Amino acid sequence: MRIGVGAPPKGTSMSGFGSVLRQITTESWLALGADGHEAPRLASAWRWDDSRTVLRLTLRKDVYFHDDTQLTPELAAAVLRRSVENAEALSLASVKSVEPTGDDGVEIRLTARNAFLLSDLTAVLVSMPDRPVIGTGPFSLVKRDPGEAVLRAFPRYYRGRAAIDEIDVTNYQTQRKAWTAMMRGEIDMLHEVSRDALEFVAAETTVKTYEFPRPFYIPLVFNVRHGVLKLPTVRQAINEAVDRAALVRGGLNGRGRRSDGPIWPEDWMSAPAEPFDYSPDSARRRLDAAGLKARPGRNGGPPARFSFTCLVFASDSRFERLAVLVQKQLADVGIEMKLLPLPQSDLEARLRSGEFDAFLFEMAARPVSWVYEFWRSHDGSLLNTGYHSADAALDRIRGSGSDEEMRAGYADLARVLHDDPPAAFIAWQETSRAVSTRFDVANQRQRDIMSNLWLWRPGPANQASR
C-alpha cells in the first residue's frame, strides 16, 4: 500500500511525515479509549499504591522489538528512563525513579502525586533506547530517505502479523499535491484530506473517505496583561460576540463542532461547560457598562471601542479564514481586531515571550496534561498569557487521588474558565482520511482508521491483481 502525506517539513499537529511513521512503527505503554480511560497496550495492567506516588506496570510477555529483542522489565525500565531524561511527556518531570520488578513489572516512583501520568503513558512511544527507529509496532522501518520511507509487516507483532506486507510512505509539500497524486492513482491512501479537497476526493468512486473528530480545539487566546483585555467582563463580552456555529460552518466548512472549553467533551472526567450564548446585544451592554464607548475611527475608518492585534499561523488557510470571520463578528460590537499572520517559528517565539495581545491557533486536549501545560501559569510555559485564575483548580486536578476528586477538579476548572475566560474557545475539529477501495479498512466509527492499520486487508480487486 502507498500512503501520501501532504505536509510541509514542519507541519502542525499530527500531520507531519515523521509522526505518520511513528504511528505505524511504534506503540505506547497504554492505549487511550474513546472516553478517555486508559486501556492495556504494551502494559497489560497497572496499579497505584495507597499514596498514589508509586505506579506498577505489568508488562505483556509476548512483545518484541523489530530486531527480535524481547521487552523485559529491565529493558522497559531503561526505555522509561530515557523518556524521563528526554521529557517526552509533561508528567515525567515528577518521576523520581524507574526500576524493574519481578519478571513482568516496572515500578515508577514520583516525587509527588501526578494524576496525569497514566494519560501521558498513552502518548509515550516505546522504542529501543539506543536505536529509536526500532519499535514494537505492526510495521518495521526498512528504508528511509528524505520524504520517502518503506515499511514491512513485522512477523512477531504480538497482536498478529499485519495482512498488508509492505507500506510505502511519500511526503508531499502540500496537501493539494498529495490528493492530486491520489487522483492519478499514484498512492492508495491520503493521510489527511484538506477541507478544500474533501468534496473532490469524496466524489471519486475509487476512493472512500473516513471522517473522525480530533481532540484539537481552536481558541482565540488573550494576553490578560493587555490594557483592556485584562478586564474579565471584556473577555466575556468577546465570548458573547462570537458566533461559534457560524464559524464552524464558514471557517471549517462544517467539519467540526463548537467548543466551550479545553476539555475533550467525550472524556469521562469532562464537566459540562457553561456555554456563552451568541448575543451581540449582551456583549454591547457589557462593553458599555465597562465605559468602553465607540470612538471615531482612524483615517476615516469605522468607529471602535478599542483595538487589539491577533497573531495567526500564516501557513494554514483554516486559521486565517477563521480569524477573518471572528474579526467581522467583533467589528459588529465595536471591537477592532487587527490580524498579523506569522510563520510557526515566529508565532511560537511570541507566545513564549508574551509579545502579543491575542492569538488564534490550534491546541491539543489529549493527553489531559496539555490542559495543565497551556492554562497553568509557570516558568517555561508554552504560553505566556499572564493568566493565573485557573492555577488552583489545575493543581487540584494534578494532585487528585481518585476519579471523584478529578471530576470535582474539572468542574471547578469549567467554572473558572467561564467566569474569568482566558480565551474564546471556538471549535473542535474533524479530520478525514481517504483510502482506495482496493483495500478493506478496519473502520471503527468516530475513530482514526490509522489505529487499526494492522487489521486492513487487500480487497478482492487488489488480490486479483497479484
Grid cell for residue 317: 488557510
* pLDDT, position 171: 94
Instruction: Read off the pLDDT of residues 105-115 as tens digits, 9 standing for 90 and up.
Output: 999 999 999 99
Q: Judge whether residue 465 has pLDDT over 50.
A: no
Q: What gap in Å lies between CA 81 and CA 96, rounded to an integer?
A: 10
Instruction: Read off the pLDDT of residues 326-373 as tens digits, 9 standing for 90 and up.
Output: 999 999 999 999 999 999 899 999 999 999 999 999 999 999 999 999
pLDDT-derived band at 8, boundaries 50, 70, 90? low
Q: Judge whether residue 446 has pLDDT over 60.
A: yes
* pLDDT, position 10: 52
The percent of residues above 70 in pLDDT, for the chain, comes to 97
CB-based contact 21:167 (threshold 8 Å): no
Instruction: Read off the pLDDT of residues 387-439 as tens digits, 9 standing for 90 and up.
Output: 999 999 999 999 999 999 999 999 999 999 999 999 999 999 999 999 999 99
Q: Judge whether residue 464 has pLDDT over 60.
A: no
Is the fold of 27-133 the same as that of 139-206+437-464? yes
Helices (H), 14-112: 17-25, 73-85
Burial classification of residue 460, based on how many CB atoms lie within 10 Å of its CB (0-12 exposed, 13-18 middle, 19 or more buried): exposed
Query: Who wins on pLDDT, 159 or 318?
Result: 159
Instruction: Read off the pLDDT of residues 291-311 as tens digits, 9 standing for 90 and up.
Output: 999 888 777 778 899 999 999
Q: What gap in Å lies between CA 254 and CA 427, rounded to an integer?
A: 10
Mean pLDDT for 128-147 is 94
Mean pLDDT for 15-23 is 85
CATH topology of domain 27-133: D-Maltodextrin-Binding Protein; domain 2 (3.40.190)
pLDDT-derived band at 11, boundaries 50, 70, 90? very low
The percent of residues above 90 in pLDDT, for the chain, comes to 82
Helices (H), 300-437: 317-331, 344-353, 369-375, 391-398, 403-419
pLDDT-derived band at 379, boundaries 50, 70, 90? confident
Among 41-55, 282-296, 442-456, the range scoring the smallest mean pLDDT is 442-456
Mean pLDDT for 131-144 is 96
Mean pLDDT for 150-167 is 97
Query: Who wins on pLDDT, 380 or 80?
Result: 80
Q: Judge whether residue 378 has pLDDT over 90.
A: no
Which architecture does CATH list for 139-206+437-464? 3-Layer(aba) Sandwich (3.40)
* pLDDT, position 196: 74
Helix, strand, coil distribution of the chain in percent, nearest 5:
30, 30, 40
CB-based contact 233:246 (threshold 8 Å): no
| Mean pLDDT across the chain | 93
CB-based contact 368:118 (threshold 8 Å): no
* pLDDT, position 45: 98
- Domain ranges in the chain? 27-133, 139-206+437-464, 214-429
CB-based contact 73:105 (threshold 8 Å): yes
Instruction: Read off the pLDDT of residues 230-260 as tens digits, 9 standing for 90 and up.
Output: 999 999 999 999 999 999 999 999 999 999 9
Mean pLDDT for 268-276 is 86
Grid cell for residue 276: 456563552
Assign domain 214-429 one CATH number from 3.40.710.10, 1.20.1090.10, 3.40.1280.10, 3.10.105.10.
3.10.105.10
Grid cell for residue 96: 523520581
Mean pLDDT for 432-459 is 91
Q: Which distant-in-sequence residues (6+ apart) come within 8 Å of 320 by Cβ?
A: 312, 313, 314, 339, 341
